[in-house]
Amino acid sequence: MNRAPQPDMLEPPSELCTADGPKLAVVISCYNYELFVERAIQSVLHQGRHDCEVVVVDDGSTDGSWDAISRYDVKAFKIDNSGQVAACRYGFDRTRAPFVLFLDADDELKPGALATIIGLLEPSIAKLQFGLTRIDADGNPTGGRISLEAFRSRDELLSRVLRSGVYKSPPTSGNVFRRDLCEFLRKADYDTAVDGVILFAAPLLGDVLSLSEELGCYRVHGRNKSGLGRIPDVPSLERNLRRFVLRMKHLREIVDRLKPDAKLVSAEEAFYFRERALYIDLVSGRRPGWKMLRPLLSSLMREPFATRHKFVMTGFFLLLSLLPSDKGRALLAYRLDTGRRSFLGFIQALIGFSESTHSKS
């Protein structure tokens, strides 16, 4: 276990592994998650896979995370605090497998997850994604989940990315990336999370395989920095919007290089941008008017959603523009809580009794 060199001394990227080398690398980045990082490491090691390499990067933690990590026979590094993208990039450069899973230090893999994942990996797949079960700080299921549809797609998903800039994808721990896709992280310092541009560049490089099976656990706890399910604040919404604009700029560079004949939607015309701009107005205390609603609804109609979903979303946006600001913000918090939505919950949020669930950034 070694302390990281300074950035100008980073080792060059590893070569792709040979046929008899590891098939998957799990990179765990940790910042002040002493309470959870051992569970993350154990969730990988207990699967007993000899074709999986594990690298743990302590991103300058100030708690006992490094001591916890040091109890395990894994390749581990302690670096100066640099943020998740840099920490994951550092760990990535110390692996050699052709596929990489970036596991958050407060999340876990379920037993048998690696056998399922590795058994499905093949060179034509750029990204594999899977569902996640929500658990609390003690590891108990909360009843929530991050569900996905099962599909394998490239052209259709690429069309969606070009039209919207996004598609439905799980948080960091629910994704496996082909090694060449991870190279795009080298220019992603504008982002705070590793699951940014590489999610949406994936269909440019190969198939995206989506599994409905929940192979991991997504921990919801009191130390989550920000959350879907809480009423968002204006600074966090504005930061997310700025990151989206920078990510779209980066994605455009990738599209221009790999598929120069393709046209990517501008960030400002994307549904995500217009939706978040409306949320900023709402949280700021301004009532969204028709001038903002009209282009938003126009973008919504171009999204690959079912007609029923478009109808529901249209009603939701109209409600936000008509409700008193406190009710609108409560309804917005419920909308942004991925994984625990229901008609009853919608009614509770509407009358001001939204659940106080929390989620990670």
The verdict on residue 93 lying in a domain is yes
Residue with tokens 């590094």: 77
CATH number of residue 156's parent domain: 3.90.550.10
The verdict on residue 192 lying in a domain is yes
Residues 172 and 82 in one domain: yes
Residue ending a domain, among 194, 219, 244, is 219
CB atoms within 10 A of CB 153: 15
The verdict on residue 229 lying in a domain is no
The verdict on residue 326 lying in a domain is yes
Residues 146 and 53 in one domain: yes
| Residues 1-43 pLDDT 10s | 443 433 332 333 344 444 578 999 999 999 999 999 999 999 9
How wide is the angle at C-alpha 272 spanned by C-alphas 179 and 323, nearest 5°? 145
Residues 45 and 9 in one domain: yes
| Residues 187-231 pLDDT 10s | 999 999 999 999 999 999 999 999 999 999 999 986 655 454 456
The verdict on residue 74 lying in a domain is yes
Q: What is the pLDDT of residue 330?
A: 78
CA distance 131 to 146: 6
Query: From start to end of the chain, where are the E strands?
Result: 2-3, 24-30, 52-59, 75-79, 99-104, 108-109, 125-135, 141-146, 151-153, 175-178, 207-219
Residues 159 and 185 in one domain: yes
Residues 117 and 251 in one domain: no
Q: What is the pLDDT of residue 20?
A: 75
Residues 119 and 212 in one domain: yes
Q: What is the pLDDT of residue 15?
A: 40
Query: Dihedral sign, CA of 175, 181, 183, 185?
Result: negative
Number of domains the chain contains: 2
Residues 165 and 199 in one domain: yes
Residues 304 and 211 in one domain: no
Q: What is the pLDDT of residue 170?
A: 96
Residue ending a domain, among 166, 186, 219, is 219
Q: To the nearest whole number, what is the mean pLDDT of the chain?
A: 87
Percent of the chain with pLDDT over 90: 73
Residues 132 and 262 in one domain: no
The verdict on residue 299 lying in a domain is yes
Residue ending a domain, among 186, 219, 252, is 219
Residues 211 and 254 in one domain: no
Q: Which domain does 30 fall in, by range?
A: 2-219
Average pLDDT over residues 58-79: 97
Residues 211 and 238 in one domain: no
Residues 6+ apart with CB under 8 A from 91: 27, 28, 29, 55, 56, 57, 77, 102
The verdict on residue 69 lying in a domain is yes
Residues 166 and 294 in one domain: no
